[in-house]
Amino acid sequence: MKEYNISKIIKWVGFILAVVVVFYFVVTFYAVNQLTDNSIASVSNRLAADADNISWTLEGVHAMMLAEVGFDTDLDKLALADEENLSIDEFAMKNRIKTMITNWSRELSFAVHYAIYFPGNGILIDDCSTNQEYDLWRSVKDEMIQMLETLEFASGWNVVSLNGEYYLLDITFNTNRYMFSYISLREVIDSIESEVYGENYYFTLIDGENNAFYNRERAADDLITVLAEDTEVVEKNLLEQKLIVKYNLTENIYLVLVMYDYNSVLNVFWMQMFFVILMLAAVILIFLILRIINNTVLRPIRLFNENVETLKNDDVYDIATHYQINELGNASKLMYNMVERIKILKINIYEKNLEQQKAQMDFLSLQIEPHFYLNCLNLIYNMAQMEQYKQIQYLLNCISKYLRYIFKNRDGLSNVREELEHVKKYLEIQKIRYGDCFEFHIDMDEKLWEFELPPLILQTFVENSIKYTINWEDDIEIRIIGKIDGEMGVMIIEDNGDGFDREILYKLDRGVDISEGKYRIGIMNAVSRLKLAFGNSAKICFYNREKGGAGIKIVFPCKKDEVN
């Protein structure tokens, strides 16, 4: 499994994030700038188009009125007519004019109203066709006629208040008639209301003296310096999100747009900023959390791991009590306790093992057949019959020493010298028993004396040799040779009997148990005891000599030296 280094990843992620954020800000700033410019341009263009449209309409209306009514010489007849006593022609003419201006008032996107007034005879022609238009006309006509008496302004469009509402009014005079064209400001502005300008905006009209005529209350605060500026975009306030744009409608009337939240892009930008900051905060928070987790969890876990690792190598466990996490601390304590208990258990098991081995040794020691003792007793009995008292004394001395050695309470191993002494005693006993039936030779390097062997090993093999070779007929020779080969001691027991049975030898070579019931236990015991005492460092080898007879070679380490 691939391993991840968290802090490295965090560093990389942080770096990439920083690059992305920087890139994001650059792009966003660029986009916001572009879009802001675009949106202002689009608003400004739209307003320019609207203003031009209105402007043209106003010019057109003025021109049309003058051309169609002002210069219509037929109408001079109406100026001379007696309103109380119209001729049918005059009546028809009046009707024609009314129909004409009524049709005009329907032609434009906002209702421009017209009226013609002949001051000479008081004939007044309106353009009304619906009840509402008559209501409106009735509300403004008297004021308009009165205005003529104190006509201050020049011909052309002006903003006037009629019956409490503002109108764009154009009064033109030609020879004998006044021509009125008037538009409710509300209508004009309604006609250019558009969602292009967003949701929070308003229009107003101002004149050359900065007087606002529409949305007066709102305009009062916003428009203070509108006229001071020459440019179309009068004010562009990013913070307040306020945009003021003005356009000329006529010589001294401006259409002004005050737009709030004009830069909806900016809102999006702020919103995004907020999200980005939120994201960064989240990333930093995650980083901090990771740090904390690293400090409080990962590192202790690593430490814990290392401790466990040393435990594996050195059998030592450091409890490392500075763990911040309770669970880990507890686990560590538990681990420590466990390790301690395991140690104790190990020692216990080891000791038990030793005890077991000892018990086995003891048991094995006791495996020595009682046959020998019975034979000895028989021998003593026979010797006593034959009154060989000297020999009996000697024999008994030997037996007692022999038995003493056997029953000697011993711990572990006995040295070769003692062992050899014991074997000599045994052989002498057997010599007494068998007489000249066999000879034995001991050739022992003295340096071997202090080597140690499991007790009675040597006797086991010698005993075995005697048991299987002595037949009262042949001259049996048993040789015991001890020497040192390097660090190892070598003990060889040879005879000149029949040698090992082939099958037995085969089995012994492969370490197969050859014991059958009580038989051949001795050899197997000796083999396992050697193994117990020296493990694999001791070797035992069974062979048949070339000249006939069996041989046993024991190679074993100098136990005594090791202890020293």
Partner 1 sequence: MMKRKRYLTVLLIGLAVGITLTGCKEARTGSDSGVEDTEESYTVVMGYIGDKQPDEEMIEAEINKILEPELNARLDLRAFSWSGYQQELQMILSGDAQLDIVPVIISHAAGYVSNDQLIDLTDLIDQYGTNIKSLLDEDFIHCPRVGDMIYGVTTMREHISWEGIIMRADILEELGYQVEDNRCSEFTSIEQLDELFARVKEAYPDMVVLASTAGSTPLFRWEVFDILTDGFGVLMDYGQSVEVVNLYETEAFVEFANRLYEWNQKGYLAKDAATTTESLQNQVKSGAAFAYFTPQKVGAVEQDELATGYDLAMSAVMGDPFTTSYSINFMTYGIADNSGDPKKAFQVFDYMYGSSKIMNLLNWGIEDVHYQVIDDEKGAITYADGVTAETTGYLLNQGWQLPNQEIAYVWEGESSDKWEVQREYVAAAERSKAFGFSYDTSVVSLQLTALNNVKYQYFDAIGSGSVNPAEVLDEFNQALYDSGLQDVIDEKQKQLDEWLANK
Q: How many residues does the chain have?
A: 564
CB of 100 to partner 1, least distance (A): 12
What secondary structure does DSSP assign to 86-151, as a single string?
A: --HHHHHHHHHHHHHHHHHHHHSSS-EEEEEEETTTTEEEE---SHHHHHHHHHHHHHHHHHHHT-
Q: Residue 265, interface with partner 1 (CB under 8 A)?
A: yes
Q: Residue 184, interface with partner 1 (CB under 8 A)?
A: no
Contact 114, 143 (CB under 8 A): no
Q: Residue 134, interface with partner 1 (CB under 8 A)?
A: yes
Per CB under 8 A, the list member of 176, 252, 272, 544 interacting with partner 1 is: 272
Q: Residue 241, interface with partner 1 (CB under 8 A)?
A: no
Measured CA to CA, the distance from residue 146 to residue 318 in angstroms comes to 111
Sheet holding 242-250, edge to edge: 201-207, 253-260, 242-250, 233-237
Dihedral through CA 4, CA 7, CA 11, CA 12, nearest 10? 0
CB of 268 to partner 1, least distance (A): 5
Query: Whose Cβ is closer to partner 1: residue 265's or residue 413's?
Result: 265
Per CB under 8 A, the list member of 131, 313, 536, 564 interacting with partner 1 is: 131
Q: Residue 48, interface with partner 1 (CB under 8 A)?
A: no
Site string for partner 1, 11-40 (x = CB under 8 A): -------------x--xx--xx--x--xx-
Q: Give the end-to-end CA distance of the chain in Å, rounded to a whole number.
A: 51
Site string for partner 1, 73-102 (x = CB under 8 A): ----------xxxxxx--xx-xx--x----
Query: Whose Cβ is closer to partner 1: residue 92's or residue 286's?
Result: 92
Helix or strand holding residue 547 (H, E): none
Contact 256, 246 (CB under 8 A): yes
Q: Residue 283, interface with partner 1 (CB under 8 A)?
A: no
Q: What is the largest CA-CA distance in the chain?
A: 202
- The number of residues that bind partner 1 (CB under 8 A) is 42
Q: Residue 146, interface with partner 1 (CB under 8 A)?
A: no
CB of 257 to partner 1, least distance (A): 15
Q: Residue 239, interface with partner 1 (CB under 8 A)?
A: no
What single letter denotes the amino acid at residue 454? Answer: P
Q: Residue 523, interface with partner 1 (CB under 8 A)?
A: no
Measured CA to CA, the distance from residue 167 to residue 185 in angstroms comes to 5
Strands of 315-465, DSSP E? 414-415, 438-444, 452-453
Query: Whose Cβ is closer to partner 1: residue 272's or residue 367's?
Result: 272
Query: Whose Cβ is closer to partner 1: residue 85's or residue 409's?
Result: 85
- Judged by the rule CB under 8 A, the positions of this chain that interact with partner 1 are 24, 27-28, 31-32, 35, 38-39, 42, 83-88, 91-92, 94-95, 98, 123-126, 128-131, 133-135, 138, 195-196, 198, 264-265, 268-269, 272, 275-276
